[in-house]
Structure 1
Amino acid sequence: MDGVKKLNVSYENEWDYTYIHIDIPIPYEENYQVSMLKNNVLSGFLNMRAGGRDGQSRYTYRVHGGISLEKRYADDEIGKQEIERFTEELLDAVAEVKNHLMNPDGILIFPELIFVVGGHYRFCYLPVPEQYREKTLCRSFHEMTEYFVKKLDYHDMDSIFFVCKMHKETMREQYDLKRIMEESREERKSVEEEYRSERAENIPDSVLFSVDEEDSVIGKTKYKRTQDVEKIAEKSSSYSPIKHAINRIKTGRWGEWEDMITEMDGQKPGRPI
C-alpha cells in the first residue's frame, strides 16, 4: 500500500524477536500517548518504545513469533470469515485506544505493519501529533478493503458480496464500521432466506413423498430418477450482477476497482454510486 512507503520503516532481526523501527523527521516529544503506551499494556497492540536523536523520533515495535498480514497472504486467498475476524479485532483495538483516551487515527492499517501473533491480530500505534498524520483511521480502513479484494477467492460469492459492501460503505469521510458489519450480516441473512425460499418453490411435487411411501419401497427399486427432476431450475437471484463481475475478474477483463463496485451494485461502469 502506498501509505506505508511514505513511512521510514526498517526491520531488525534477532534470535527470537523482530524489531520494527519507524523513524519520523520531527523532534521527539514525550506526549500523553507515548506515556500511555510506555506505562500500560494495550490489548491488541505490539509493545512499543520510543526515543529521539538528531532532531528525529524513532518508534520501535517488538514482534515475537508472529507474521505480517502481507506475508501471511502473499500466496494465499483470504475469505469473508477471516476479514470479519480482522475487522472485529480492529474494532476491539479501537475501543482499547479510546478507553485510554487516545486517538484511534494513530493505529497503522497497513498489511506490512499488522501481525498475526498466536492466532490474533496485533497492531502498531504511532503516537505522533495529529498534524503529522497523513490519513485518518476511516480512510486507512477504506484503502484496506482494496487490499482485501486483491486477495479474495473469486469463487467465494459470499466474500465478494461482503467486501463490495464494505468498500462502498467506507467511501464516506466518516462512517460507523460496526453498523456496516451488522447491516452486511442482515443483508446476507436476507439473501440466504430468499435463496432457500426460491429453491423450495421450484422443487417439483413429483420429488416429494410421504413417510408411508418411503417405507413401502425399502429394498426395492420402485423409484427411478426421471429427467424432469434431475435438474431444478433456479430463479435469478440478487447475486446476478456479482456473478457477472466475478467472471470479468477471472478472465482478466477488468479495468478499475470502482468499475467493479458499480457493476456489482447493479449499475454500469462509469456511473457514480
Structure 2
Amino acid sequence: MDKIKSQKQLNIQTEDRWDASCIHMDVPSLQKEDYQLQMLQNNRIRGLLELSVTGREEGSRYTYKTLNGASLEERYRMEAMEKKEILELTEQLLSLGEKVKEYLLDPNRILLMPQCIFKIRGEYNFCYLPIEYQSFCEAYHGLTEFFVKKIDYKDIETVFLTCMLHKETMKNIYDLKEILKKYREEAGEISLPEKRTEQKLDIFVNEEGEEELFPLEHPQKQEMVCEKKKYGFLKKFGKKIKSGYWGDWDDLLTEAENKTEM
C-alpha cells in the first residue's frame, strides 16, 4: 500500500453512534490482509483504540472505537495543558511504543495528531494505522507544536518543559527517553530549594536585602518563605532561558514574560 503523504489523505471524520462514538479515516487505497491487522484484531493492546477495517469503492475505511472519550483537540479547545498532563501523555506513549513492539508492530504507525488521541478512563489511547505515514520523531515534534499553542504562559514550569521538548525534537532522529531524563535533571536543578542544616530555621530576605534567620513556626514568615522559594524558581528559570540555553524562542518567551507580568 502506498505511503500516506498528507493528513488530508486520511480524511478524518467523527461519528456519534447510539452505542459508542468512533472516528473514521478514509484512505484512497485498499488495505490488504497482513500480520498487522491480524495482531490488532486478535489482541487487545492496552493504549490502542480498537480498530476495524472495511473496503470501500474508493479505498479503505479505518474505524476506531473511542468509547465516548474526549480527543486531545476537544479536551484542550478552551483549557490550557499543564506540565503533569504533557508528561503523562508522553510517558504513556513511550510505554505503548515498547508494548507494540512485543506484537511485532511498528511504533511509527501510531498516529499523534491531537484529534486522534483520546483520554478514556484516565488513560491516553492512540490510533494505530497500518500504513506508512509519519515517523515517530516527526509525529511527536508535530504534537509539541500543539503543546506550544495550548499551554498557559503564566505557568513557567510548563513553559520550561514545552520549550525543551519542542527544541530537542526538531532533529530528524532523537531519543525521547533521554530528553525526558535530561528535562528532569535540569528541572531538578532549578526547582529544588537549597538544603539547610537547621531543621527549624529558614532564611528570609528583608527589605534591605539582608538575610535573616527565624523559626518556621511563625505562620506569616513561613508564608513569606514559600513566596520567596516560588519566585526564586521563576527567576532562576528566567535567567536560564534568557541566556539562550534553550535556543531562540524570542516570540514565545516575550509572550510568556508579558503574561507573567499581568
**TM bucket normalised to smaller:** 0.7 to 0.9
Task: Specify the alignment match of 1:71 in structure 2.
Answer: 74
Distance 2:257 2:114 in 1: 24
The C-alpha deviation readout for 1:94-137, integer Å capped at 9, x for no partner, is 11111111111110101111101111101000012x3xx2x211
Shift of 1:146: 0.9
Q: Give 2:148's aligned residue.
A: 149
CA distance in 1, matches of 2:118, 2:21: 11
Which residue of the partner structure matches residue 187 of structure 2?
188
SS at match of 1:237: helix
Q: Residue 121 of structure 1 corresponds to which residue in structure 2?
A: 124
Query: Which residue does the alignment assign to 1:103?
Result: 106
User: Considering only aligned residues, what root-mean-square deviation do their CA atoms show, in Å?
Assistant: 3.3
Identity %: 38
Distance 1:26 1:210, change over 3 A: closer
Query: C-alpha separation between the residues in 2 aligned to 1:76 and 1:9?
Result: 23
Pick closer, same or farther for the CA change 1:54–1:180 going to 2, 3 Å: same
Cα distance in 2 for residues equivalent to 1:4 and 1:165: 26
Select 1:248's aligned residue among 251, 255, 258: 255
Q: Deviation digits for residues 141-166 of structure 1, max 9, x if unmatched?
A: 00111100111111111111111111
- Secondary structure at 2:119 match in 1: strand
Q: Is 2:94 aligned against 1:91? A: yes
Instruction: Describe the SS at the equivalent of 1:208.
Output: strand
Query: What are the Cα deviations for residues 34-70 of structure 1, in whole angstroms up to 9, with x where unaligned?
Result: 1110111011011001121325111111111311110
Number of paired residues? 231
Give the conservation status (yes or no) of the 8 Å contact 1:28–1:55: no
Cα distance change of structure 1 residues 29 and 55 upon mapping to structure 2, 3 Å threshold: farther
| Comparing 149-158 and 19-28, the one that deviates more | 19-28
Contiguous gaps of at least 5 residues in structure 1: 219-224, 226-230, 253-273
| TM-score normalised according to structure 1 size | 0.74
Alignment partners' CA distance in 1, 2:205 and 2:257:
32
Q: Please tell me whether the aligned partners of residues 9 and 26 of structure 2 are also in contact (alpha carbons under 8 angstroms).
A: no
* Deviation of 1:168 (Å): 1.1
Is residue 16–residue 65 contact of structure 1 (8 Å, CA) maintained in 2? no
Secondary structure in 1 aligned to 2:154?
coil
**Take 1:50 and 1:251, find their aligned partners in 2: how far apart are those partners?**
49
SS in 2 for 1:108: coil
**Which AA in structure 2 matches 1:117?**
I
Q: Name whichever of 164-173 and 239-248 sits farther off.
A: 239-248
**Contact 1:4–1:110, Cα closer than 8 Å, also in 2:** no
Q: Map 1:199-238 to 2 at 5 A.
A: 203=205, 207-209=212-214, 237-238=236-237
